Amino acid sequence: MRVLAGKTAYFTSHCVSSVVKFDTFCSTWLIMGYRFFLSLVYFSPPVSQARPPPNQKKGSRTPIVIIPAATTSLITMLNAKDLLQDLKFVTPEEKKKQGIQRDNEVLLQRRKDQIQPGGATLSVTVPYRVIDQPLKLAPQDWDRVVAVFVQGPAWQFKGWPWLLPDGSPVDIFAKIRAFHLKYDEQKMDPNVQKWDVTVLELSHHKRHLDRPMFLKFWETLDRYMVKHKSHLRF
């Protein structure tokens, strides 16, 4: 009986010792795991928010005005800024005599009075891009084209979007506001007569009439943009 009791005591002591060691082992691993978890929570770098790639830019909101590339046009890259920004007519020939070089595009800075919510008037400057080579536009840029100066011949619109199968540009004028600049005594072009085009008439000698005439251009364009291009800057 003494031998049995001794063996029982030894077995019990060994089991208790094993349980204690196992418990200590488990506790040690639990503590290590908890410390590792805390290190992840408190010392890991914060997760940055998703950002667009550095080369990804927001689309431009600057409106585009297209003018004829023909040298016979009353508005060209030489005098576009005089007409549309300074509101005075200077012929392309005069600009050539002044030694003005033709630019690939012109950036107008249109000055206008803007009514604020409180009723006060604030003078602001709004940029407009003027070009005469529309086929160089990227597809997404066509949404920013707000005005075109029509020369008369339909070939001006060759290669444009929205042309009808027969080459007619009438659908273009449903998407872009069209203007035609002519001298007051000049005969109206037959195409301009049948197209949806706003005619702007110049006097050969009465330069004081230039400003109200070009203001008419901007007023007409503003009304169009409020209705169809309000997402652009104007």
What would the two tokens of residue 94 be? 């005069």
Domain spans of the chain? 1-51, 64-228
Flag whether pLDDT at 15 surpasses 80: no
2.60.40.10, 3.40.50.300, 3.30.950.10, 3.40.50.11990: CATH of 64-228: 3.40.50.11990
CB 73 within 8 A of CB 151: yes
User: What's the rounded Cα separation, in Å, for the pair 169 and 192?
Assistant: 11
**3-state DSSP assignment of residue 82:** helix
Give me the residue label for tokens 């001006």.
156
Over 60: is that where the pLDDT of 65 sits? Answer: yes
Q: Are 161 and 173 in contact (CB under 8 A)?
A: no
Residue 160 or 114, more confident = 160
User: For 172-189, how does the pLDDT look when each residue is reduced to its tens digit (9 = 90+)?
Assistant: 999 999 999 999 999 999
At which residue do the structure tokens 């600049």 appear? 181
Q: How would you classify the pairing of strands 177-183 and 121-131? A: unpaired
What is this structure's pTM? 0.74
pLDDT score for 39: 52
Q: Which residues contact 84 (CB under 8 A, 6 or more apart)?
A: 65, 75, 108, 110, 128, 130, 214, 217
